[in-house]
Structure 1
Amino acid sequence: MGFTRTLRVISGVVLTGALVLTSAPNAAADRTRNDQWALKSLNAESIWKITKGKGQTVAVIDDGVNPSHPDLEGSVLKGKDFIDGDSSTVPKKGDDHGTAMAGIIAGHGHGAGNQDGIMGLAPEARILPVRANGSTSEQLTQAIKYAVDRGASVINISQGGSTYSADDAEAVAYALKRNVPVFASTGNSGKAVEYPARYPGMVPVGGLQKNGTVWEKSNKGKQTLLTAPAVGVVTTGGPSNLNGYGIGDGTSDATAYTSAAAALVRSKYPDLTAGQIVNRLTKTAQMPASKKGGELPDEQYGYGSIRPLAALQEDVPKGSTFGPLSVPQSLKDEAKVAEKERESKAQQEQADKEFVFLWAITGIVALLFVGGIVLVVVLVRRRKRKRNGGGPGDPGAYGGYPYPPGQVPQQGPYAQQAAPPQHPPYN
């Protein structure tokens, strides 16, 4: 499918002989919805009562996404093409893999009540398409960093190869520092886990059959963390018609389902780190009965098959910053420093709040104290005035003088006599 150098799409479509359901979506609508066995297996209807992934953006680093497919229309953002170097991420003729992954993640169906066509596990999430196939050494590095910088909350890479790149490994660390989990397929050869899934900090995903056992072609290794449906997966796009539908096998599909599950968890728990989101998925994953009690992660199943409903509902402690992710010590050290800085900042903010509160209380107490003193002074003065017969203008006094007008007090031993009345002279 065009991936002839570093990376190739990890899908069993060519190997298994894909069944293209039809070139006209309406004719196959009923069948496509009924054939989505993975949605029933994952209990999607119950999940959607809690969240449908609204507000989340999943970057699909692949061969492009068809934004005109009726089950994806309106959900595909403007992305970037690192293959041709332009902004058009529309797939080339015959490249249907990225469109298929997008449908598994965020297909929303079509028709009356969206009852027809493909439903993704996170139907209200948005897709950020990024065309990249590793045909140049820096391509995947650029694609991962671009997705992070454009606001992706989850990155899906359903591609694989055998070549290690220090720059690619650094790009994964770049994503984790910015709290974006990166999911990648383990591979379809039945051999060792491939790159980029092997890079530290990645979430390698293996494939399961309908009965819950590991798919025989799913690659294995100690890096495997999770497994998900990978066989007989019906989804959007088809080799002969990008607006059609197809069916195939591959750990690509398992990765897309797991990326969608991460988007659902992040939608409900937006404050979790990338590692804590993966921790919820691993802590609620289920191992088959034949593997229970064994050492985890298992080389085939990792921590088990994803159970998104349980990841949304169960009481799972947050855990450490990186959870079960295997990351370089340097990244852990940086995270510890950052955590200490956050704690120090939080403590300083709390101390500042307490300081302001203390001064506010002190100010209120001081005002009450001064007010109390003023009240006491006023009351004492009023009491003194009453005791002295009242002040100027008090009732019972004459303008503040103790004698009626026309009278003066006696001086010494002799009382002053009133002046004799004046009579007019006789004529």
Structure 2
Amino acid sequence: MRAAGALVGALVAMATVTATGLAPSAAAADAQARQWYLGPMQAERMWKTGTGKGVKVAVIDSGVNADTPALKGQVLIDEVPDAVRYRATDDYTGNGTTMAELIAGTGAGGGLKGLAPGARIVPYRIELDELRAGDEERRKTPDLAEAITAAADTDAKIINISVSWEWFTGNDQAAIDYAASKGKLLIASVGNGVREERAIAFPARNPYVLGVTSMDSSGTVSKNAADGDHVDLAAPGEKIPHWCDANFRSYCVGEPDTRPAAALVSAAAALIWSVHPDWSVNQVTRSLIDTASRSWPKDTPSRYAGYGLIRPRKVLADADYDPGPADVDPLVKENGGNLLAESASTPSPTPADDAEQSSAEDSGTVSSAAPPRNHYHPLWLALSAAATVLGLALTGTALVRLRRAR
């Protein structure tokens, strides 16, 4: 265990080097090296089983630049419905491109290596507050409801929405319900900096959407991440490389952010679906929940970490894993009540399965006292390193203000 601990120490030390930005000449070479989570998640081992091949992920964001080295050949612009294709590959913030690379980047040119490099991206550019444009440009740019509804009518299995807003419309709600009825897996970030504000955090708060929170390289849930009954899963989200701006000159190292965490859960789902193409959305969701790292009962999810930290390798490595019934939503009880709604006050203790918990106790690294509510034990890192994520409503309401991505 000492050797494993030393290895993890070195891994975390490398992963936690800070930077406010990278010089353009060094950006590409450094960006992939800073993806600290690929080793602990045993990405190379997972890719021997599945890469996400055959799975399409709709990325609804600020647009996706299909010409970055890591995304060449990965973006299916021709599969975006004509009605919402307007400037879909013109990313006005860089966020949509970053999310696409984290999901399906090839790593070419030293760019980001996606967790599901065999998957393909279908880009959707929607109107966010960051879109600095006139009325005509905003009129041509699709809104969230239009993009979700369009994506629901395609063969994309996963819809990634790495944004969180305080306001939403009845049309947004109806679009999500429609996509869910079409068997799509919707994944969204739970929001940054909203814990004190107690904002709505939509669309993650919709019961058909998997809400994802962020953790750092030590296994701690990000302090600025939202908490509440809309948090379903956790994934790495701190010090993740991202494009600094829409000019795509260099990568920067990100601050704590639930947006890349959502992208990694989408990638994890793509890995699972590529190996089990016949599974339903309920079965893929159940597999993410069942195999997540946690030490609390599965039927009492934490308000800080939901069902725990994603570990898609557990699904890919278990040929006998039973995904359960295809037509039963794992997030809803038989009486229709949401499991999360009944456990909002549940603390977030150390997540580890029985074997990991036992090993930790043997090494003296787990205290009998309850850990801080938002803390994950770095054992997840240690074990991994040692071994080497309608249409429109009739009552739609107007937005109170433009949405701002969080």
Match of 2:347 in 1: none
How big is the shift at 1:322? 4.1
SS at match of 1:214: coil
* 1:330-372 superposed Cα distances (whole Å, 9 cap, x missing partner): 9x9xxxxxxxxxxxxxxxxxxxxxxxxxxxxxxxxxxxxxxxx
In structure 1, what is the Cα distance between the partners aligned to 2:68 and 2:59?
Answer: 16
Match of 2:8 in 1: none
Q: 2:116 aligns with which of 122, 127, 139?
A: 122
Letter in 2 for 1:174: Y
How big is the shift at 1:247? 1.9
Alignment of 1:100-119 (within 5 A): 100-111=98-109, 116-119=110-113
In structure 1, what is the Cα distance between the partners aligned to 2:283 and 2:249?
Answer: 37
Are the counterparts in 1 of residues 176 and 208 from structure 2 also a CA contact under 8 Å? Answer: yes
Higher helix share: 1
Q: 1:263 aligns with which of 261, 266, 270?
A: 270
Q: 1:171 aligns with which of 169, 175, 190?
A: 175
Alignment of 1:262-411 (within 5 A): 262-287=269-294, 292-293=296-297, 296-314=300-318, 315-320=320-325, 321-326=327-332
In structure 1, what is the Cα distance between the partners aligned to 2:176 and 2:335?
Answer: 14
Alignment of 1:38-53 (within 5 A): 38-53=37-52
* 1:82-110 superposed Cα distances (whole Å, 9 cap, x missing partner): 9x9653213355x1100110111011011
In structure 1, what is the Cα distance between the partners aligned to 2:19 and 2:84?
Answer: 30
Calculate the aligned-residue CA RMSD, in Å.
3.0
TM-score, normalising length: structure 1:
0.65
Higher relative contact order (CA 8 A, sep 6+): 2
Letter in 2 for 1:178: K
How big is the shift at 1:269? 0.9
In structure 1, what is the Cα distance between the partners aligned to 2:187 and 2:215?
Answer: 16
Alignment of 1:163-202 (within 5 A): 163-191=167-195, 192=198, 194-202=201-209
* 1:315-338 superposed Cα distances (whole Å, 9 cap, x missing partner): 4322242432349999x9xxxxxx
Match of 2:32 in 1: 33
Letter in 2 for 1:43: Q
Are the counterparts in 1 of residues 282 and 330 from structure 2 also a CA contact under 8 Å? Answer: yes
In our comparison, the structure showing a higher alpha carbon Rg is 1
In structure 2, what is the Cα distance between the partners aligned to 1:328 and 1:140?
Answer: 31
SS at match of 1:204: strand
SS at match of 1:160: coil
1:247 matched to 2:253 = yes
In structure 1, what is the Cα distance between the partners aligned to 2:63 and 2:167?
Answer: 22
Aligned length: 304
How big is the shift at 1:148? 2.0
How big is the shift at 1:186? 0.4
SS at match of 1:37: coil
Match of 1:22 in 2: 23
In structure 1, what is the Cα distance between the partners aligned to 2:298 and 2:207?
Answer: 23
In structure 1, what is the Cα distance between the partners aligned to 2:252 and 2:233?
Answer: 25
Match of 1:344 in 2: none
Q: 1:160 aligns with which of 158, 164, 170?
A: 164
TM-score, normalising length: structure 2:
0.68
SS at match of 1:41: coil
1:140 matched to 2:164 = no
* 1:2-52 superposed Cα distances (whole Å, 9 cap, x missing partner): xxxxxxxxxxxxxxx98332334xx33332222110111211011101111
Q: 1:328 to 1:62 in 2, by over 3 A?
A: farther
Are the counterparts in 1 of residues 60 and 162 from structure 2 also a CA contact under 8 Å? Answer: yes
How big is the shift at 1:195? 0.3
In structure 2, what is the Cα distance between the partners aligned to 1:140 and 1:317?
Answer: 35
Letter in 1 for 2:116: A
Structure 1, unaligned runs of 5 or more: 1-16, 333-427
Match of 2:234 in 1: 227
In structure 1, what is the Cα distance between the partners aligned to 2:49 and 2:91?
Answer: 37
Match of 2:97 in 1: 99
Are the counterparts in 1 of residues 151 and 159 from structure 2 also a CA contact under 8 Å? Answer: yes
Identity %: 36
